[in-house]
Each structure stands twice: as structure tokens, then as C-alpha cells.
Amino acid sequence: MRIEILGSAAGGGFPQWNCNCRNCQRLRAGNFRGQSRTQTQVAVSNDGRSWFLLNASPDLRIQIERTPVLQPCSAVRDSPIAGVLLTSADIDQIAGLLSLRELQPFRTYCTASLRRVLQEDNSAFGMLNRVPQQVCWTEIKLHESFPLRTVAGDDCGISCEVISLGNKYPVYVSPQRAAMLKSEEALLGVMLTAASGSRLAYMPAVPAINEQLLAVLETADLILFDGTFWSDNELIQVQGSGATAREMGHVPISGDDGSLRRLAGLRRPRKVFVHVNNTNPMLDESSPEYHEAGAAGWEVAEDGWQFNL
Ligand SMILES: [Zn+2]
């Protein structure tokens, strides 16, 4: 399985259009030791011809333009993108679907709850169903493995299983609507098994870490994990107000029950942070936080990184 990191920042990207925090300001001024980043986006492929997107970031269009393997290569209208796997209804994870609305066929994979939110509630997503078979919506279930299929319907060689990571739907889902949905389908973690048997854990948003999750992560060869915030009160420190990392559904990296310490016992997987918020001090490669993460065995993903499993 080939894995391409097309983007590695949290919502808003780095720098963010309306942010003048120390990181964003220094990056724009050209005296920041670190990279700008688009919003988190990952693509996987078994054969290098059919590609599957893990969510669809708001930056998807430019990410495709920077990634030759995702560009049309045969017909006048054509795309190697065979499908999109959705893990939540957050705008950060779905907005890019609207960049795929030009009547090009592809598959989506999401739970029944997510499909209802996207298809029944949001008329904008009707753009994906203007003609029959434009998009084939495939409902998936927790803990039931399924193959990712090419547009023609063939098993692509990557098998997928999703687990529940959280029970909060995004704020734009009304409480009445949320009450009609399964809470455990609100936020998923993904385990992909390559034809080689190697496994990828993709979890860009993790509200809490428990023993069950640690056991799943230990079965992975590579984990792409929630690196949104370094500390729980990071946004409040930068903005003077706002929510904590945990209130926003992200376990912070630092602290006694942060991801660095909680995942320190994992032996098998290579550990990589994605979905890094623009306020995270770890973005600065000369920062103590960047070195602390490295010393703990973590890497901080950058746009353009590739892996082979
Ligand atoms: Zn900023």
C-alpha cells in the first residue's frame, strides 16, 4: 500500500488566513524555522493506479494539483481517484467532496449516520448525485471489515475496518438530528490492511485514549495520529479565550495523559503526527517541543511525505 500525505495541518491550515499568532506571523515574515502546511489529507493506493482519499480536505483541489499520481492520465475527463473514506461530518473532513462534483464517478465509504447527515440534510451535497451512478455511496459498519473497490467494482487489495473514537457530532448537526443517529458513529478511527498484511492506523482526531485503542494501535505498522494541539489550553493561551483541546475533541500531545506518554509503550508502529494546528509550537523545528516529540519516537508529518506498506 502506498500512502501519500497531501496535507498535514489542522483546520485553517498553517498559516491560517485570519491568524496572527506567533507561529503564523513568523512564518509569513520568513523567519520561522518550519514549513507551511495545507489541511490534513491522506491518499492510499494498492497498485498506484486506483487511489483512495481518507476524508476530503478543503484544500483538496490544490493538493491534487501538487500530486501527479492523482491527476488525469488517460481520457479528457478522467481521475485516478476511485473513492473517498469519510470518518466524520466535520467540514475539515468533507468540504473537499465539493471539489469532486464534476460528474466524475467515484465511491464514498461512510456510516449510515454520516450518509444521512450528508445526503439528506445538506442540499449542497446533492451536487454529487445529479445523475444516476455519479457517486456510489457505500455504507460501512463499525468493526466490519470491507475492501476498498475500484470504480469498476474490483477489490483493490486494501481492506478497511473502522472503530468508534467519539460520540459528538459537529455543531452544525442539530440536537434533534443527532438524537436520531447512532452516537458511536460520530467519529471513526480507520485501520487499513495492505495486500502485504501491513497495517495503517489513521486517526487525525482522537478525543481520548483508552486501553482498547492502545491495543488496536499496537497492531499497526504505521500510525498517523492526532497532533492537533501540544497542550490542552493552547488556543486559550494564544487567543485569550476559546475551548480546550479536549473540549474540541483532541487529546493534547503533552501532559500526563497526553498522547506522548499514553502511546509511549507502543512497540510495533512507526508514529507520525498529522492534523497539526497552526498554534502548535511543535511546528517550529527549533522548538523544544519539536525535539521532545522526536526524542519520544514521533515524527511530524509534512506535506509530500510518502510511505510504503
Ligand atoms: Zn496561527
Length of the chain in residues, anyone? 309
Helices and strands per DSSP (H, E), number in the chain:
9, 14
18 CA to centre of ligand 1 in angstroms: 8
* 219/145 Cα distance (integer angstroms): 15
Please choose, from the candidates 202, 220, 139, the residue with its C-alpha nearest in 3D space to the C-alpha of residue 165: 202
136 CA to centre of ligand 1 in angstroms: 38
Dihedral of CA atoms 163, 235, 277, 255 in degrees, nearest 10, equals -60
Q: Quick one: cell of 55?
A: 476524508
34 CA to centre of ligand 1 in angstroms: 13
4 CA to centre of ligand 1 in angstroms: 25
Return the pLDDT at 102: 84
191 CA to centre of ligand 1 in angstroms: 31
Contact 93, 110 (CB under 8 A): no
21 CA to centre of ligand 1 in angstroms: 4
291 CA to centre of ligand 1 in angstroms: 20
Peptide bond connecting 72 to the previous residue in cis, omega within 30 degrees of 0: no
303 CA to centre of ligand 1 in angstroms: 18
- Name the pTM for this structure: 0.86
Note the pLDDT tens digit of each residue in 253-281.
999 999 999 999 999 999 999 999 999 99
304 CA to centre of ligand 1 in angstroms: 22
Please choose, from the candidates 286, 234, 238, 289, the residue with its C-alpha nearest in 3D space to the C-alpha of residue 32: 286
| Digitized pLDDT (tens) for each residue of the chain, 309 residues in all | 999 999 999 999 999 999 999 999 999 999 999 999 999 999 999 999 999 999 999 999 999 999 999 999 988 889 999 999 999 988 889 999 999 988 899 999 999 999 998 888 877 777 788 888 889 999 999 999 999 999 999 999 999 999 999 999 998 899 999 999 999 999 999 999 999 999 999 999 999 999 999 999 999 999 999 999 999 999 999 888 889 999 999 999 999 999 999 999 999 999 999 999 999 999 999 999 999 999 999 999 999 999 999
251 CA to centre of ligand 1 in angstroms: 19
Neighbour tally for 170: CB within 10 Å: 17
104 CA to centre of ligand 1 in angstroms: 36
* 116/123 Cα distance (integer angstroms): 11
